[in-house]
Each structure stands twice: as structure tokens, then as C-alpha cells.
Amino acid sequence: MATCLSGESTAQSKNVHPSKIERTDSLFTIKLTQNSDVERLAVLNGTNDIKLAANAAGNNRLSFSYRYLSFGFNIAPHLFTAKNTMATMGKTTIRGFNAGFNFRHWQQSFSYNRTKGYYLENTADYRTGWTRGQAYIQFPDLVLKQYQGATAYNFNPQFSVNSLVTHAERQVKSAGSFIPVFNYRYYISDDQSPFTAGSVRQKSKTLELLAGPAYYYTFVYLKSFYASAGLSLQAGFAHTLTENNTIDGTIKAHQNNPVFRLGGSIGLGYNGKRFFSAIYLRTIETAFRQQRTTVVTEDNRTTGHISIGYRLNAPSSMKKAVVRMDQKLLYLKSRIKN
């Protein structure tokens, strides 16, 4: 992948349509995003449904980007969680980081997220007489770790992915593009509660691979105001290893399941010379039927995103470092060709 990307790092300006994309190579971007993208888990079999949620209204992400490079980190501060819900829903902590390389055609992203502490959203199904306002069944030691990445290819060089994802560019005229995407995710659900007599702790590890087409379009008004929308459809498979741990030992089970995912997004924003802001609504619907069972596992999320940011003059040391990176990648590409 590095070889594919290196050739684009110096050729982007030749491919950019001068009237549709405005580059900001001399500026360094800082962006703060508040979103409601918190993982919810569900296992549905029609009789003993399990719906798990985290006690977090959302999380904050602080991102930095320059040209085709970006990185950031996110947290879910407790100040956004109502104090009275700590007793009824328990405490949730969320941490994570992300990084990406967004070239004219190739796009690459990586991220890691860790969520600890869940409660059973449908506690009423398991506790007779339970009413809203009482404490939910809580899983304070349930930890979900996610390692994920995405590789995509933008077919239209006049469409700026950076103007939407990192705001390292400006889309000054309307454009759209077909963008096939390959997603890969490895996630671990781990009950880390202490062992007690007769207790069972479950740990599952899942590798998920999906690929499919997507299309995105940005409508631009007066060069700085825009509306964007996108739709994606993916299919693939998930391999899951489940471990049921007791004091006496561990029982393991493997499953291979087909996975289908439908995603969509719509947003409005302002992308000026220095200042920018945006508001988005995104939805992801994922489902797969567990092998040899009637159980359907779902991961459904509809999230809101509000971001605000500013572009500062990039320090000369940063510019020089990225230029040296360009040179090394081009040298590596030439050596591989020869």
C-alpha cells in the first residue's frame, strides 16, 4: 500500500481540478468533534434477547491533520454523563486513538477504541417488577476492545475526501465519486469480573472482513457552504472464537458467519479559508446469523457528529518532515520498480 500511496503524494496537485478543490498545504488543521458514537451490543434470539449499552452520552475527539496525514484521540468525559445515572447504569470509560493517510485516490485509516462498563438495557425482561428509575443490571468489568481499519479508493480526483474527513482541503465546487471500501475489524469482548463459585466468564474474539461499493456527493454553495451525503453497502464474514471460562477450565467454540452492513450519512457544513464547522448524521446497520443457531447478532448505530476547527500556519519543521517523507517514499517506489 505504501508504494501505491507514495506515487500520489507528489502528484496530487497535477490531478486536482483547479476550480473544484483548493489545497491548503501551508496550513495545519486542528479539529474538535463531539459525537454520540458509542458502541451498543445486542444478541437477539426472540426469547432471551440481550441489549447492552454504555453509560455515555457521547465522546470527544481531538484531531490534527496536515496535507495527507492525520491523527487524533478520543475520550468520553464524565462531565457529559448525568450524576444520577452512575448509580442506576454504572460507570463507563472510553479511550481511543486514530490515524490516517488520505491521498488523492487511496485512503487508509486505522483506529483503536476501548470501552469498559455496560448495563443491560432490557433489564425489565430479566428482573420481575423492575421499573425505570431503578438500577439496571450492570456489567462494570465488561471490556470491549476494537482494532479496525479501512482501505478505500476514490475514483474521481475532482472529489476531495479530505475536505470531509480531515478538512485538510476545501471542495469549492460540487462533485461526487464512487469509492469502493475494504473494512477490517478485530474486536474482543471480555468479561473481566472476578471468579466466584459456579461463575462463568465469557471472552469472545471476532475478526470481521467486509468489502463493498460506496458513493458520496458534496454539493457546494458559494465555495464555502456545503451539503454532503453518502451510501455504502458491504458484505463479508466474521470469524468468532468464544471462550467460557470457569475455575475448572475453559470451553472454546468457533463460528464463521456471513455479515451484511448498510451505511449512510448526511451532513451540512461551512469550510472557509481558516475556520470550518460541520454537523453530520450517520447510520450503520450490521447483522449476522450465528452459525448453527437462530441467534442474530446486531450492531446498529445512528450517531450525530458536530465538529469545529481552525487552520493554523504549519511550522517549517512540519513541512520539511513531510517533504522528507515524500522523498523516502518515492525512493522506495523507484527501488521496487527497478
How does 277-288 read in b/e, with b if 16+ C-beta sit within 10 Å? Answer: bbebebebebbb
| Residue-range domains of the chain with CATH | 2-337 (2.40.128)
Please state the length of the chain: 338
- Torsions phi, psi of 17, nearest 5? -70, 115
pLDDT tens-digit profile of 63-95? 999 998 999 998 776 655 556 678 889 888 889
Of residues 144, 190, 186, the one with CA closest to residue 41: 144
Helix-helix angle 316-337:2-9, to 10 degrees: 120
- Torsions phi, psi of 78, nearest 5? -70, -15
Longest Cα–Cα distance in the chain? 74
Residue of 77 and 140 predicted with greater confidence: 140
Q: Across residues 47-70, what is the average pLDDT? A: 87
What is the predicted pLDDT for the residue at 226? 97
Of residues 157, 158, 167, the one with CA closest to residue 272: 167
pLDDT tens-digit profile of 4-30? 443 454 444 444 555 799 999 899 999
DSSP bridge pairs for 115: 94, 144
Of residues 149, 141, 249, 230, the one with CA closest to residue 190: 141
Residue carrying the nine cell digits 472454546: 252
Q: Percent of the chain beyond pLDDT 90?
A: 50
Residues 6+ apart with CB under 8 A from 306: 33, 34, 35, 277, 278, 279, 280
Helix (H) or strand (E) holding 184: strand 181-191
pLDDT tens-digit profile of 112-125? 999 999 999 999 88
Q: What 3-state DSSP class applies to 198?
A: coil
User: Is-contact 114 18, C-beta < 8 A?
Assistant: no
Q: In angstroms, how far is CA 269 from the centroid of its own chain?
A: 20
To the nearest 10°, report the CA torsion of 306, 312, 317, 319. 80
Q: How many Å apart are CA 169 and CA 29, to the nearest integer?
A: 10
| 326 pLDDT tier (thresholds 50, 70, 90) | confident
Of residues 115, 125, 110, the one with CA closest to residue 51: 125
Helix (H) or strand (E) holding 87: helix 84-89
- What amino acid is encoded at 5 in this protein? L
User: Is-contact 322 69, C-beta < 8 A?
Assistant: yes
